[in-house]
Structure formats: C-alpha cells, structure tokens
C-alpha cells in the first residue's frame, strides 16, 4: 500500500513538473491518467489473485444460488484464472447450472481454518473451448467427466465481485473487482 501511495505521489509530482515544463497541460494529464489506469489494473489483478489463492488454499468452497424463493448451497472445488478473470466450472445438466441460468447472482463462502471469505458475484457463462480447456488443464481429474468439446461442460467467470475476508482477530478486508 505504501508503494502504491509513493507511486501515485511520484506520478503527481511528475505530472506537475511536466505541466510546468510544457505549455501543453493535456499531455501531462494524459500521462497521469495512463499511469492511474495502469495502477488500477494492477490492483484489480492483485485483488483477484488474493481471492483465487484463498479459495485454492481452502480446496472446497460453498456456492449458493436461488431456485424460486429457496436458497441452494453445494460444495464446489474448481477455481481458475483465465485471461484475467476468475472462473468456476460445472455441468450444464446440473441444477446449479439451471439456477444460474435463471438468476446469475451467486454467493460463495469458504473457511481456511482461521479466516473465512464471503463472495457475492454475477456468474457469466463463457462457452469458448479455450476457457473450458484452461479449467480442465488446471483440474486434470475432471477430464474423466468433462471435455472442452463436450456440450455439458460449463465454465463461468465472475463479475461485479465483492469479496470480504473475515477473522475473529483482525478487521474484515473487502476486495472488489
């Protein structure tokens, strides 16, 4: 966090110097905006990576959907990062897939022995072969039941993610991406 603040402060000073040295304010503003976007992109990747690593460490997490007015929760174990997005996997013939099709809002919960994470997100289907293959490469044991060319294999990436990591001994940390 200190490095990011130092970087932003340095960028601000550079922008001021550029503005002082060049009559063209728009060029200095462009540089500042570009560096801010790059910093925000790195924050998103780091945030997503933290959530990925937490779920990966847990091994099993619990995914909640809704069927009508009834919540449905089941254990899941697949989590993968592909093309800068966090993915889960299921089979299209399963009730969970049908429930996500009706209402893509999901929640995930996992416990690592001392901390727990609650994630709310929207699951978006990615039916591309590359996304399926990436998941299957990450979980070779799934290849007994699924293949990248199988119409039943479903990969979904998470958007609008709000993840909160809780502990009895530390303040909660909220991560968004």
pLDDT tens digits along 66-98: 999 999 999 999 999 999 999 999 999 999 999
Q: Give the helix/strand (H/E) hosting 127.
A: none
- Please give the pLDDT value at position 31: 39
- Please give the pLDDT value at position 29: 37
Asked if 85 and 127 sit in the same domain, the reply is yes
β-pair type (173-176, 80-82) = unpaired
CA-to-CA distance for 85 and 118, rounded, in angstroms?
Answer: 18
Please check whether residue 102 lies inside any domain of the structure. yes
CA-to-CA distance for 138 and 149, rounded, in angstroms?
Answer: 16
Please check whether residue 49 lies inside any domain of the structure. no
Q: Give the helix/strand (H/E) hosting 46.
A: helix 25-58
CA-to-CA distance for 170 and 127, rounded, in angstroms?
Answer: 40
- Taking the whole predicted model, whether its pTM rises above 0.85 is answered as no
Asked if 155 and 119 sit in the same domain, the reply is yes
**29-58 pLDDT, tens per residue?**
343 444 444 444 556 679 999 999 999 999
Domain range for 162 is 56-176
Number of compact structural domains in the chain: 2
Asked if 102 and 140 sit in the same domain, the reply is yes
- Please give the pLDDT value at position 86: 98
Residues 55-91 as b/e (b if ≥16 CB within 10 A, e otherwise) read beebeebebbbeeeeeeeeeebebbbbbeebbbbbbe
């Amino acid at each position: 966090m200190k490095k990011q603040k130092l970087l932003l402060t340095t960028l601000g000073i550079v922008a001021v110097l550029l503005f002082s040295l060049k009559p063209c304010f728009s060029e200095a503003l462009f540089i500042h905006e570009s560096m801010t976007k790059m910093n925000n992109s790195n924050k998103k990747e780091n945030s997503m990576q933290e959530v990925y690593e937490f779920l990966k460490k847990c091994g099993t997490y619990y995914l909640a959907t809704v069927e009508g007015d009834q919540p449905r929760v089941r254990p899941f174990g697949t989590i993968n990062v592909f093309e800068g997005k966090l993915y889960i996997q299921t089979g299209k013939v399963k009730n969970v897939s049908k429930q996500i099709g009706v209402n893509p809002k999901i929640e995930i919960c996992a416990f690592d022995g001392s901390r727990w994470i609650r994630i709310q997100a929207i699951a978006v289907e990615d039916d591309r072969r590359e996304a399926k293959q990436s998941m299957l490469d990450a979980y070779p044991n799934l290849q007994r039941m699924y293949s990248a060319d199988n119409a039943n294999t479903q990969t979904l990436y998470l958007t609008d993610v709000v993840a909160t990591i809780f502990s009895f001994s530390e303040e909660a940390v909220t991560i968004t991406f």
